[in-house]
Amino acid sequence: MEKMLAAVLHDFNDLRLEEVPVPRAAEYGDVVVRIKSCGICATDYKAIKGIRRNVEFPFIPGHEPSGVVAEVGPGVTHFKPGDEVIVMPSGYCGYCKHCRTGNTHYCENAFTTGGDGPVIVLPGAFAQYMRTKDTSLFLKPANLPFDVAAITEPLSGAWKGVIQYSEMKVGDDVVIIGVGSIGLLCMMVAHAAGAGRLIAVDTSEYALRNALTLGATHIVNPSTEDAKARIYEIMPDGPDIIVEAAGPIQAVRLMVDLRRRGTKWNVFGITTHEKFELDGGYTHFLEGRMDASFGTNPLAMSKAIRLMERGLVDVGKIISHRFPLEQIHEALEVMSTPNRNKIVINP
């Protein structure tokens, strides 16, 4: 049986580089992709380090891949070996009530490759090959390098949150709280969509410097200044949209405090089960709108690919490090440091 190299998680903090069988495209709709690039998501890091506990072992992480079709299974007619593709990590049935209303990321029969959420979790892309379904593939535009194409899924999540759900309009004043990799992508989408004032909020000076080079009109550091006072100095009428892309509960509380009448606010970054309070009457009379967004869908993936292909968002600018699969442990060490953005693995 043909073997491949893969990073297999056997327990929290026990990631091993091993020779495992190459997957086969045996079932209807199966496609095996030779992985060229795969981004490291914070959720991958949290699973490996035990911060995220919804993991069943053994597990091959990695859910932001691009690559080349190596083998197709029965019934696959839209792709062939040699096609350069981008992989959406989530798969869907197309028949349940959620799929039929366009919410494929709610699919009752969903699977994910190398990620989390659905009950069915297939081996991911920190490996030389990965099996998925043809409905999760998108042809890679020729002008996109594989490393850039691997950022499609997080960019699609940013587009889905900022544009599809929060419905940002040209000229809106936007605040992005947290400008790590995903926050920078939210900010770049907002910039491309014609944001008026665009404020990046973060406690990291490294992150704030990056934000200024990628479209932020202003930066605010809550650890050195009164964030609300400074934001309202820049935006006297208050923000039209606030996106929390940071994760800590303090970021959510700042977002709540920044609202004015009509503000749209998106609980985008926090995934831990922590609580924050709302004044019911105040929230009622503000008449704002709260959104949240997780995961992706085919529409968002298609929009992200178009943004990159047309040169409207250059995600290559947020890639700070690249490592071969053999050096994934070194890559994880860099993940724990403050001065990095998106890290890409090249199997």
- Per-residue burial over 222-246, b if 16 or more Cβ lie within 10 Å, else e, is beeeebeebbeeebeebbbbbbbbb
320 with 283, same domain: the answer is: no
177 lies in which domain range?
Answer: 156-292
145 with 210, same domain: the answer is: no
112 with 200, same domain: the answer is: no
20 with 123, same domain: the answer is: yes
50 with 105, same domain: the answer is: yes
Q: What rounded mean pLDDT belongs to the chain?
A: 97
38 with 110, same domain: the answer is: yes
Residue 79 belongs to some domain of the structure: yes
Residue 103 belongs to some domain of the structure: yes
Q: Which residue has the tokens 């920078």?
A: 184
We report the CATH number of the domain holding residue 20 as: 3.90.180.10
239 with 176, same domain: the answer is: yes
DSSP one-letter string for 297-327: -HHHHHHHHHHHHTTS--GGGGEEEEEEGGG
116 with 62, same domain: the answer is: yes
Residue 235 is predicted with a pLDDT of: 98
Q: What is the C-alpha to C-alpha distance for residues 19 and 30, in angstroms, rounded to an integer?
A: 22
Residue 59 belongs to some domain of the structure: yes
Residue 116 belongs to some domain of the structure: yes
As a whole number, mean pLDDT of residues 211-226 equals: 97
197 with 271, same domain: the answer is: yes
Residue 258 belongs to some domain of the structure: yes
Residue 306 is predicted with a pLDDT of: 98
As a whole number, mean pLDDT of residues 7-19 equals: 98
161 with 138, same domain: the answer is: no
pLDDT band of residue 248 (cuts 50, 70, 90) is very high
Q: What is the C-alpha to C-alpha distance for residues 3 and 100, in angstroms, rounded to an integer?
A: 39
187 with 235, same domain: the answer is: yes
Residue 1 is predicted with a pLDDT of: 74
pLDDT band of residue 271 (cuts 50, 70, 90) is confident
- Give the number of domains in the chain: 2
Residue 3 in this model has a pLDDT that exceeds 90: yes
Residue 303 belongs to some domain of the structure: no
Residue 19 belongs to some domain of the structure: yes
As a whole number, mean pLDDT of residues 1-28 equals: 97
pTM score, whole prediction: 0.96
For 177-206, what is each residue's pLDDT tens digit?
A: 999 999 999 999 999 999 999 999 999 999
Percent of the chain with pLDDT over 70: 100
Find the angle CA(322)-CA(210)-CA(271) to the nearest 5 degrees: 75
Residue 30 is predicted with a pLDDT of: 98
For 34-63, what is each residue's pLDDT tens digit?
A: 999 999 999 999 999 999 889 999 999 999
Residue 170 is predicted with a pLDDT of: 98
Q: Is 156 helix (H, G, I), strand (E, B) or coil?
A: helix
266 with 189, same domain: the answer is: yes
Residue 219 is predicted with a pLDDT of: 98
Q: Is the four-CA dihedral 81, 83, 86, 88 of positive or negative sign? A: negative
Residue 272 is predicted with a pLDDT of: 83
We report the CATH number of the domain holding residue 209 as: 3.40.50.720
Q: Is 9 helix (H, G, I), strand (E, B) or coil?
A: strand
Residue 299 belongs to some domain of the structure: no
Q: What is the C-alpha to C-alpha distance for residues 3 and 127, in angstroms, rounded to an integer?
A: 11
